Structure 1
Amino acid sequence: MKKIITLLFLLANIGLVSSQSSIINSKKFSINKDTVKKPNKVVEKELVPVTIPRDTIIVEIGKFVLFKKNAHASYYHDKFNGKRTASGKRFDNQKLTAAHRKFPFGTRLRITNEANGKSVVVEVTDRGPFARGREIDLSKKAFMDITSNKRSGAVIVKIEELRK
């Protein structure tokens, strides 16, 4: 009992508990959504707006597990723009998507160019590639983001799968 009285006394002295009751004293301390008010002092939080481009894929918290190194990657031709993929979604060469033979639709993959270290996170939305020796087809945007030679049609990559 003595400890509780001592604690209430200390809290009353710093203004968190009034001496008459054990509730927060709203005159000394109040909290609004964006401001914290103290006697004779107002501290405002500065909010910085963040805009995320529409085609950005937000990576959930997880870890990337290596699937394959020295994989041969190419990109979709523009003639496939607007056509349906095997998952049923419309293909857009300006989004970060990929085609793979084995990964389930919706799987997130990090594709890293082994020559320059650039990487991109893509979502599997289609099946393919059906050319022998090719491991993955990337959308044109994803391919151009990681390649150093914009005129090349293929690149050697490392494929990692996002696991939660």
Structure 2
Amino acid sequence: MIKKHKNCYRLYPIILLLLTIIVFSLFAGCGTKEIAEKVTFDELSEIKNGERVLSEKAQSLDGQMVNIKGWISPISPLGGDMFYLIRVPGAECPFCANEEVDYFDFLIVHLDKQFPFTFDPISVTGILEIEKSKPTDYEAYDHNQETDDEYQIFLKIKNVTDLKIV
């Protein structure tokens, strides 16, 4: 017969506590969602030396989860996996006017699946991506722009985790 030591019973609560801590620590991160930074179109750009430029806040959010509200542009490609999110409802095509294109008045939203067009405001949550690209000669000619060393900045939302009508 095995003889039990009377101090052995004192270890049971300690062992139970340690096992509980281990189990809870294994599941501590489950079900947590990354918190998205709420931003507005106005926060994505600022005026410096009389010119509208990418804001420091937007630069700090590049690659981060953001949430922004806007409207789907009526000129967005139908049935595609992307659309233009615009700051005001019913805005004209940002590429069609003979004026200089303001690339801070819209975001390009990339989706995994199609979202139906709506005239209602929407909220989009996803990863903000800042893309800088030089316009081609055709694009510059088509939009009456100079083809100098300036880069166009495109703001994109990728890896959309939430998209809803608000």
With CA pairs under 8 Å and 6+ residues apart, which has the higher RCO, 1 or 2?
1
With the length of structure 1 as denominator, give the TM-score of the two structures: 0.26
- More helix per residue: 1 or 2? 2
Computing the radius of gyration over CA atoms, which structure comes out larger, 1 or 2? 1
